[in-house]
Amino acid sequence: MEVKSLDGKGIDFLIELEGLRLKPYLDSVNIPTIGVGCTYYEDGKRVTIKDLPITKERAISLFLNILGPYEKLVWSVTRDDLSQDQFTALVCLAFNIGQTSFRNSTVLKKINAKKSIEEIRASWFAWKFAGGKPILLGRRKKEFEYFIS
């Protein structure tokens, strides 16, 4: 069975959430990042602030290369009856919080247990903190709205 993947609309949505930056920068928790929320390159090398800028094409290529493991994770640990938009929203969440956090999240447990949308929402919005501050609330709102669309 083929792994589900983001469609063009989903890719555009995740790029919108992450932003596109061609020079290395420190993210909200001071992790060197480049392109579309990428913290490492295809070869596994971590991004550093001293890295050279990249082109938009390289940023998109890097992002698409790194996206695969997140799609595979979400596909492998979720129910088979999720819509494309639900799958996309979960990949966006996993891309932001990391694979281990997603795999162990209450969001995932509640979705797989077919809990109420209110319970899922509460778990989703629990991931609003970065660096101890609730700075991800806007992102979580966009992701969750995509999930329920």
DSSP string of 45-97?
A: PBP-TTSPP--HHHHHHHHHHHHHHHHHHHHHHS-TT--HHHHHHHHHHHHHH
Instruction: Read off the tokens for 58.
Output: 């390289």
Catalytic hit among 7, 18, 42, 71: 18
Burial zone of 58 (CB within 10 Å; 0-12 exposed, 13-18 middle, 19+ buried): middle
Catalytic hit among 27, 51, 85, 119: 27
CA angle 35, 51, 47 (to 5 degrees): 60
- DSSP run (H or E) holding 23: strand 21-26
Q: Specify whether 7 is catalytic.
A: no
Q: Specify whether 145 is catalytic.
A: no
CB 64 within 8 Å of CB 40: no
Q: Which amino acids are annotated catalytic?
A: 18, 27
